[in-house]
Amino acid sequence: MNLAKSKKRVAVIEKQPSVGGGCAHWGTIPSKALRHSVSRLIEYNSNPLFNLKEQRSKLTFPDILNHAGNVISKQVNLRTSFYDRNRIDIFHGEASFVDNHTIKITQPDGTFEHMTAQTIVIATGSRPYHPPKVDFNNDRIYDSDTILKLTHDPRHIIIYGAGVIGCEYASIFRGLGAKVDLVNTRDRLLAFTDAEVSDALSYHFWNSGIVIRHNEELAKVETRSDCVIFHMESGKKMQADCVLFANGRTGNTDKLNLAAIGLEADGRGLLKVDDNYRTQITNIYAVGDVIGYPSLASAAFDQGRIAATAILHGHCPERIISDIPVGIYTIPEISSVGKNEQELTAAKIPYEVGRAQFKHLARAQIAGTEVGSLKILFHIETKEILGIHCFGERASEIIHIGQAIMEQRNGGNNIEYFINTTFNYPTMAEAYRVAALNGLNRLIK
């Protein structure tokens, strides 16, 4: 869009029949739509106003997939209209390099055509990593793409990998009433998050009945006609109706014929780029999941825009913000921006903590969303906000209020902002005032 609006001729090559990418079709949008339905179901069933015990509502996985399908269609229509309005041509087919100005577009029947361009941007995304010892053709074994084709409602599922995808799907399946075994190859959930938040998630998962197994490695998968059995290196065995593998991703570079342009991906299929998202080949850029961290749709939008500016002007002075927020749509939700307590302690930065519990907020009491808290970490001398960690309903929205203050320069980033301003009442935003007062009161005078 950035290039088209600057009067460049732009073509998009997409191997799927419709636009939207993994984000709209298999990743962000479907998982968030599924999560939303489950979260409303839980709310409905736990609210005494609606839930007259004998009328407990029930939804199946295919039911909520249906709803997700409607959201995907809306996203695809919207994105298609953006391309149309900006006169960007879309060519369907699989792209691969012939040389650094020529792309071959191959159709499923083997026919192909060539297209040339001055500049090429690789935005081919990533796909679920498939460990070689697992047969993904078996109909009890799914990854985060194929799970969206599940036609039945599993009673028991093993989720292998307790990263973001594993934890989000654990919430979805547990919310639908399935038994969930969440197998973690590391020693705690979402190790990159603040330890308190990770502990809170573990507690809520445990409390909801999810069985978490840490520090486990898969030895082999045994599939039977009626179940699947997981054999762990530790000697444990687990049995379930099906398995969801959510243990990492691989960049989509293997089909690009990178050798033709002298470019090489790393062992996980990822490409290296500079600050302008340019690869080692001067007219070839790469953005999104194909360059690895942070592998977020949120960041990919910005990377694309920055690369386009660099293509137009030779370089882009803008950089993606260093403190990228994360929103993890588990139930309860998690969101954070900036440093966590472990990082600040390790860096010997003197900080204090201000906390607000949702259960003490009028808005949370009204909405029945009392599980959760907001934590602000700030420098004890400068009062600069160093990190914000939120756990609970709408955490991923709430975080942006604090982020806006954190991003201020020239003294604008100061926790006192939250006590020197008036918040609508009752709101969840009030958590910032409560947390700021709590933290400032802890300072030794």
Ligand X SMILES: Cc1cc2nc3c(=O)[nH]c(=O)nc-3n(C[C@H](O)[C@H](O)[C@H](O)COP(=O)(O)OP(=O)(O)OC[C@H]3O[C@@H](n4cnc5c(N)ncnc54)[C@H](O)[C@@H]3O)c2cc1C
Ligand Y SMILES: NC(=O)c1ccc[n+]([C@@H]2O[C@H](COP(=O)([O-])OP(=O)(O)OC[C@H]3O[C@@H](n4cnc5c(N)ncnc54)[C@H](O)[C@@H]3O)[C@@H](O)[C@H]2O)c1
Positions that interact with ligand X (CB under 6 A): 13-16, 21-23, 27-28, 31-32, 94-95, 123-125, 144, 165, 252, 255-256, 288-290, 295-298, 300, 329
Residue among 204, 249, 339, 433 that touches ligand Y (CB under 6 A): 249
Residue among 185, 208, 239, 342 that touches ligand Y (CB under 6 A): 185
Indicate which of ligand Y, ligand X, none lies near residue 247 (CB less than 5 to 8 Å, by partner kind). Answer: ligand Y
| Closer CB to ligand X, 12 or 349, in the complex | 12
Residue among 124, 198, 202, 247 that touches ligand Y (CB under 6 A): 247
Does residue 172 touch ligand Y according to CB under 6 A? no
Instruction: Respond yes or no on whether the N-terminal peptide bond of residue 317 is cis (omega within 30° of 0).
Output: no
| Closer CB to ligand Y, 189 or 435, in the complex | 189
CB-neighbour burial class of residue 261 (10 A; exposed 0-12, middle 13-18, buried 19+):
buried
Residue 239 Cβ vs ligand X, minimum distance, rounded to whole Å: 25
Residue 246 Cβ vs ligand Y, minimum distance, rounded to whole Å: 5
Beta bridge partners of 356: 374
H-type alpha helices, 2-114: 2-5, 21-25, 28-46, 61-85
Options 5-13, 74-82, 96-104, 160-168: segment touching ligand Y (CB under 6 A): 160-168
Residues in 372-411 at the binding interface with ligand Y, rule: CB under 6 A: none
Does residue 174 touch ligand Y according to CB under 6 A? no
CA distances from 65 to 60, 127, 313 (A): 9, 20, 44
The strand pair at 242-245 and 156-160 is best described as parallel
- Gap between the Cα atoms of 288 and 23, Å rounded: 11
Does residue 20 touch ligand Y according to CB under 6 A? no
CA distances from 136 to 30, 139, 143, 146 (A): 21, 8, 8, 9
Options 97-105, 325-333, 347-355, 356-364: segment touching ligand Y (CB under 6 A): 325-333
32 annotated as belonging to a binding site for a ligand: yes
Does residue 33 touch ligand Y according to CB under 6 A? no
Is 183:125 a contact under the CB 8 Å cutoff? no
Find all residues with CB under 8 Å of 40, minimum gap 6, and list them.
Answer: none
Comparing C-alpha atoms, which of 437, 414, 415, 417 is closest to residue 356?
437
Residues in contact with ligand Y by CB under 6 A are 129, 161, 163-166, 168, 185, 246-250, 268, 294-296, 326-329
Q: What are the binding residues for FAD?
A: 32, 124-126, 289
